[in-house]
Structure 1
C-alpha cells in the first residue's frame, strides 16, 4: 500500500495534522490508530474525576473553537466528544484505520520515503511519517518485589477497570501525580479504606473551576470575536507563569498560596507536614485541585510516606516493616516519557536506529525533526512539553512547521528534507542553557521531566509565542534539501 503521508495516532496531534493537511489540499494521507476509536490520551484515561488542568477555551484548536464548553476546565468525556466532533466536521472518518499498531518504520534513501511496519505484518510505503502519539501513552508501572503474587486486582489509572467495584474495598493507591489527585477523591468516597503511598508530595494550587453559564455560551456562539478575546486573555495570563519557572525565587508567593490551601483543608498538623513539599514549587508538575486535600483528611484515608519494600498476597509492605492490607492496588504513576520510542524500530539514513541516535537522550530540532531521519516529523517531540500552558497551542505550532517544510520541498522540486546535525546540536545547546537556570533543575527535586542523566528533555523552557515564532517558517539553512530519482508517491 502507498500513500503520501502516514500519521500515527489520533489524539489532538494526529487529528490536528490530518485536518491541516486536508485544508491545504494534501489529501493523500492516512491516520493509523492502535485502538478501535480515536482520542489518544482522552480516550485512554477514563478514571473517575478525569479532567483537564488547562482551561477549556485554550485547550482546543484555535481554528475549531467550541463555544459550548460546559465548564472552565473540561472533563474527559467532553474533551473526547470535541475530538470526535472534529473527525466528523472535517470528514476524517474514512482516513483513519483503527486497530493498527505500528511497530517501526524504515527510511529508503533510493525512494526518498519510508516503509511503515505494523504488528499485523502490513507494510505501508509513504513519503512522510508524522508521529503524533506524544510521550504520555505508555503507562509506567514500577517494578515492585512480589507484585505478581498479589491476590487482589491491580491496574493503572490509564487502564481503569470499570468492572471492578471499589465500594467497601481496601484500596492502595501508589503515586501522587496528576491522575491520582483527580481519582483519589471519588475513590475515597467509595472505598472502606484508602491507603495512599506517597513518595514525594506535589504542590497543589486551588482550581478556579466553575460551570460556564448558558448566557456565556450563547454569547460565545453569537459573537465569535468574544470567545477569541476570552481565549486570548486566558493565554496571556498563563504565559505570565514563565517568569516563575525561569526565575525560581518568584515562586515564593505561589508557595504561600499553596500552603494556605493545605491549611484550609487539613486540620491535622502531622498530615499537613506529610503533604507539604520541601522543594521549590514548579520543580515538579504543579497540580490544581479543590477536593484532593479534603479527601486526604477523611477518616478512611491514610497517607503513607515510607518507601514501598514489597507487595504480598494481602497488601503492601513499607520500609518500616508494616504491612498495609489491600484488596485492590491502583497505580497513579504516570507514563514512560524518557523511553517512549525505545520499543519502536525506527531506522533512518545509513541504517541508524532512532534508539541508538538517542542512546544518550532524546533530542530533536524544534522538537519536530531529527537529524539523520529525513521526512520524519514528531509532534509533541523532545522539549515541546509545557508546565504552564496548553499543549494544543504547541501542537498547532508544530503542525504549521511541518506544513511549511512540505512547502519548502515543493518550492525546491525536492523530495527529502533532513535536518543538519550541527543546527540540531546548536539548538539543543541553547535549550540546555535555558533549562539549566530554571526551577526544573534548581528546585531541589527529581521529576519525570528529567531523564536518567538528569537532563530535561521534556519541557520547552520559554514563552510559547517564541516557539510559535521559531516554527512559523522553515529555514532552508537548517536542513538539507535532497532530491531522489524515484517518482513521487503523491
Structure 2
C-alpha cells in the first residue's frame, strides 16, 4: 500500500474530532485528515438511534461556543443533534479531508522518522501528530451473563438498535436502568401497550432521577435567540453556571445536594402509586454517586400495567427466557441490552503502540487509565487524546471540555513550530504529580464516598473517568501549553 503523509491525523468524526479539524484549519494547519470508522460525522449521535434518544444536557450548552443553532427544544432529540453536527461540518469547509468507513487497525510511533504510522483497511497514513478523538462512549459493552449467546429471539445493544425488528405485541425485556434505558423504556412501554405487548425491566441498581423540564421553544423565543446573539450568549451563560452549581455537592460536600435529592424523591412519589414499587426504585446511595438522570416519563412507564420491574439478579439467559436467582423464568421474544460502554478499558488503546513498543492498553492495564491533563501520555510522543482519562462530566456538557483540550492542542502545535521541536511527550514525573493530585482530590468526592458501584470506577476502584473539580478550573489549567512539563 502507498503511504499518505499528513501533518495531523485525527481519529474520530464526532464532536471532538470535528472541533479539532475546524480549529486546526483556523490556525492555518490545513494539512490534516480525519479518519472515521462510521459512514458519516456524528459519533455517538450518529450511532445511538434508539427510541427516545435525547440529550440530557440543555441544547444551548450542547453545542459549540462558535456555532450557535436554532434548537427546537430545550433538550434536543438525537436527530436534531445529528443534523447540527452535519450542518457545522458542511459549513466548516473541512469535509473534503474526512475519510469515512476507515477504522484504525494499528498506530505505531516510528522513532526514526518521529512520526506515527497508522494502518487502516483503506491505506497507510504517516502523521506527525496523532489526535485521538474516538470518544469514551463508542464501544458498546455486553453484560457477562451465562447463556446470552444462546438466546434465539432478537437481541441487540441500545447503541446498535435494530429498527427492522417489529415489537408489536411482543414480550420485550430490557437489561439496565441507566441513561439510555430510562429514555427507551417509556417509548417501549407505549408501543407495547398499544399492541398488547409486555415489558420486563431488569434493574441492578436504582438511579437517582430528577425531572427533565423539556419543552419546545416558542416562535418568539427562537426568533429572539436567532436574531440577538447577545441574548443567546447570556442564556447559555446562565445555563452553564446553573449546572456548575452542582460541582460543590459532587466534589466537596454531598449534603449540599439535599434539595435536589428531595426533588428526585418527589419525582418518584409523583410518578409511581404503588408503595412497593416506589421502594424498589428508591436509590440507597448518595445523590450524585452515579450519574444523575433526567426524566418525567420513566416512573409512570414502570407503574404501567404492562410493565414489570425485576430487581432479582439475572443468573442466566436461555433460548427464550431470562432466569433470575429466585428461580423465576420469564419468557421473552426480544432482549434489549442497555448496559453501557467500555469506559475504563478503551478498546482502541489496544491498537496504539508508543516509542517503547508497549501499547497504550498494556500501559494502562498496569496503572489504570492516566494521562497528563487528560490529554497526553508519557512514551507516546505527539499523541493528543480528546476526552481522555479524567475529563468526563457528571453535571454538564462535554463540549466545554473538548474545546478546552483543543485549545491546549493548538497551543502545543504553535509552541512546537515556534521552538523548532519535532516531537514531545509529557514527563513521567509531571504526569504522576498531576494524577496523584487528581486522585487525592477524588477521595472526597461523592463518586468515592457515596456508597455505589458505577462505570466511573475501574477494576482497581479508582475513578479514571471524571474530572473532580469545576470545568472553569479545567479550562484554566489547559489555557496554555506548558512546554516545561514535556521532554
TM-score (norm 1): 0.96
Equivalent residues of 2:156, 2:162 under 8 A apart: yes
Q: Structure 2 matches for 1:311-460, cutoff 5 A?
A: 311-341=317-347, 344-359=350-365, 360-460=367-467
Instruction: Please state if 1:227 is matched with 2:232.
Output: yes
| Paired position in structure 2 for 1:261 | 267
Equivalent residues of 2:280, 2:311 under 8 A apart: yes
1:241-282 Cα offsets, whole Å, 9 max, x none, are 001101112222221111111001101000000000000010
Q: 1:271 aligns with which of 262, 267, 277?
A: 277
Query: Structure 2 unaligned runs (5+)?
Result: none
- In structure 2, the residue corresponding to 1:258 is in which secondary structure? helix
How far apart are the structure 1 equivalents of 2:102 and 2:189?
37
Q: 2:32 aligns with which of 26, 29, 34?
A: 29
Instruction: Please state if 1:196 is matched with 2:201.
Output: yes
Equivalent residues of 2:139, 2:347 under 8 A apart: no
- In structure 1, the residue corresponding to 2:106 is in which secondary structure? strand
How far apart are the structure 1 equivalents of 2:482 and 2:348?
30
| Paired position in structure 2 for 1:288 | 294
Offset of residue 354 of structure 1: 1.0
| Paired position in structure 2 for 1:93 | 95
Offset of residue 110 of structure 1: 1.9
- In structure 2, the residue corresponding to 1:14 is in which secondary structure? helix
- In structure 2, the residue corresponding to 1:401 is in which secondary structure? helix
Equivalent residues of 2:346, 2:361 under 8 A apart: no
Q: 1:48 aligns with which of 47, 51, 55?
A: 51
How far apart are the structure 2 equivalents of 1:341 and 1:129?
17
Offset of residue 344 of structure 1: 2.5
Equivalent residues of 2:349, 2:360 under 8 A apart: no
Instruction: Please state if 1:104 is matched with 2:106.
Output: yes
Offset of residue 342 of structure 1: 5.8
Equivalent residues of 1:103, 1:344 under 8 A apart: no
1:181-238 Cα offsets, whole Å, 9 max, x none, are 0010010112211000000010000111111111111111211011011100000111
TM-score (norm 2): 0.97
Equivalent residues of 1:251, 1:280 under 8 A apart: no
How far apart are the structure 1 equivalents of 2:176 and 2:228?
44
1:14-46 Cα offsets, whole Å, 9 max, x none, are 000000011111100000011111110000000
Shift in CA distance, 416/123, structure 1 to aligned 2, threshold 3 Å: same
Equivalent residues of 2:131, 2:383 under 8 A apart: yes
| Paired position in structure 2 for 1:243 | 248
| Paired position in structure 1 for 2:144 | 143
How far apart are the structure 1 equivalents of 2:267 and 2:39?
41
How far apart are the structure 1 equivalents of 2:208 and 2:427?
40
Instruction: Please state if 1:154 is matched with 2:161.
Output: no
The 4+ residue runs of structure 1 with deviation greater than 4 A are none
Equivalent residues of 2:56, 2:75 under 8 A apart: yes
- In structure 2, the residue corresponding to 1:7 is in which secondary structure? strand
| Paired position in structure 2 for 1:113 | 115
- More off after superposition, 254-263 vs 169-178: 254-263
Instruction: Please state if 1:20 is matched with 2:23.
Output: yes
Query: Structure 1 unaligned runs (5+)?
Result: 481-490
Offset of residue 349 of structure 1: 1.5
How far apart are the structure 2 equivalents of 1:295 and 1:352?
49
How far apart are the structure 1 equivalents of 2:20 and 2:306?
47
Instruction: Please state if 1:304 is matched with 2:305.
Output: no
Give the root-mean-square deviation of aligned CA atoms.
Answer: 0.9
Offset of residue 341 of structure 1: 3.5
How far apart are the structure 2 equivalents of 1:223 and 1:462?
33
